[in-house]
Structures are given as structure tokens and as C-alpha cells.
């Protein structure tokens, strides 16, 4: 064992300058690696922070999407036959609900909907001189703010008809939130 140690000391003495130079180079290289590692650790911390922020935003949007963006309904007026005429414009009460996803006949959140807030958007009328049934339909796509109210009104002196065939219906849906 003493002989091996002596040989090692002798070898080190013979190669001392080369080993010293190599140690100096290795120290410089280690310092460069430590500097690079430090920079990468900072970038990693920043990336982790950005990832957490992005995950929070995604969770918030997913929760908003689950909670609020499913809005669709389809209703019919009545089975009673004629509605009206009234002496003033009258908001229609649709008593037969077939679909009410989101429990929202009004705008629950800002978005683009298939139907305008408390404004006359269209007026439909059909005069039946020949007393034959006339059918027509309309739809509108509107930008609504949260809590805007939606309704259909029967103008004064006009009449609607509905029965079990659901001839007078009202439907709406949220196309996409804004």
C-alpha cells in the first residue's frame, strides 16, 4: 500500500504542471456552468409562474363555460286558442316549456344571442283575408349585455292563435359569450 502511494506521489510530481493547468481550466468551466445553471433556474422559475397563471386562467374560463354558457330554450304559447286582442301592447306569457337549458329566457351573460333588449326588433303580421292558415318564422342574432331582458309582445288590437300543435313558439340560444 505504501509503495502504491509513493508511486502516485511520484506520478503527480512528474505531471504537476499539467494537472494544475487542468484544475484551473476545470474551475473556470465549473464557474461558467454555475452561471448558466443560475440563469436557467431563473428562467425555469419564470416559466413555472407563467404556467400557473395560465392554468388559473384556463380553470376560470372552464368554470365560466360550464356555469354560464349553456343557454337554450324552446317554448309554446298556450293550448287555449286565440290570444288577444288587447287594448295595449301585451307581453306574451309562454306557458308550455319544452327546453330550458340554463334557466335563462333573459341574457345571463354578455354574448351574442339568437334574438334586443327591450327594443322592437321586428314586427310580424299576417292578414288572413281568405281565412286560411298562414305560417311564417323569423330569427334575429343580437349582441346582449348581462341581465338584458327578452320578451315578445302582442301589439294592441292584434290576435295570435295557438293550440296543441304549438303554432306560436319562442326559442333562443346563446351562440357565444363575449
Q: 87-91, 103-107, 115-119, 162-166: which has the minimum mean pLDDT? A: 115-119
Adjacent-strand bridge partners of 76:
96, 169
What residue spans define the domains of the chain?
2-66, 70-177
Range scoring the smallest mean pLDDT among 68-72, 110-114, 120-124, 173-177: 120-124
pTM of the model: 0.54
Query: Alpha carbon of 78 to those of 98, 119, 160, 173: distances in Å?
Result: 12, 24, 10, 21
Q: Closest Cα partner for 65 from 18, 12, 25, 109?
A: 109
Only one residue has cell 308550455, namely 96
Could you give the CA distance from residue 19 to residue 14 in angstroms, rounded to a whole number? 10
Q: Which long-range contacts (CB under 8 A, 24 or more apart) does 138-143 make?
A: 139/114, 139/115, 140/114, 140/115, 140/116, 141/112, 141/113, 141/114, 141/115, 141/175, 142/112, 142/113, 142/114, 142/115, 142/116, 143/110, 143/111, 143/112, 143/113, 143/178
Give the cell for residue 94: 309562454
Query: pLDDT tens-digit profile of 44-66?
Result: 999 999 999 999 999 888 877 66
pLDDT confidence of residue 145: 83
**Strands of 4-157, DSSP E:** 72-76, 81-83, 90-91, 96-101, 111-114, 141-144, 153-154
State percent of the chain over pLDDT 70.
74
For the record, the C-alpha cell of 115 comes out as 334574438
Provide the CATH number for the domain formed by 70-177 in this structure.
Answer: 2.60.120.40
Amino acid at each position: 500500500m505504501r509503495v502504491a502511494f509513493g508511486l502516485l506521489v511520484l506520478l503527480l510530481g512528474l505531471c504537476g504542471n499539467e494537472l494544475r493547468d487542468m484544475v484551473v481550466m476545470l474551475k473556470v468551466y465549473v464557474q461558467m456552468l454555475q452561471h448558466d445553471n443560475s440563469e436557467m433556474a431563473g428562467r425555469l422559475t419564470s416559466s413555472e409562474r407563467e404556467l400557473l397563471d395560465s392554468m388559473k386562467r384556463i380553470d376560470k374560463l372552464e368554470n365560466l363555460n360550464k356555469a354560464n354558457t349553456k343557454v337554450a330554450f324552446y317554448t309554446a304559447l298556450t293550448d287555449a286558442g286565440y290570444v288577444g286582442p288587447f287594448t295595449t301592447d301585451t307581453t306574451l306569457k309562454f306557458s308550455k316549456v319544452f327546453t330550458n337549458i340554463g334557466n335563462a329566457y333573459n341574457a345571463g351573460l354578455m354574448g351574442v344571442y339568437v334574438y334586443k333588449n327591450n327594443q322592437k326588433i321586428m314586427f310580424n303580421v299576417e292578414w288572413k283575408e281568405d281565412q286560411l292558415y298562414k305560417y311564417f318564422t323569423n330569427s334575429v342574432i343580437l349582441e346582449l349585455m348581462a341581465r338584458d331582458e327578452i320578451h315578445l309582445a302582442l301589439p294592441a288590437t292584434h290576435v295570435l292563435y295557438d293550440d296543441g300543435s304549438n303554432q306560436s313558439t319562442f326559442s333562443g340560444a346563446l351562440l357565444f359569450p363575449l
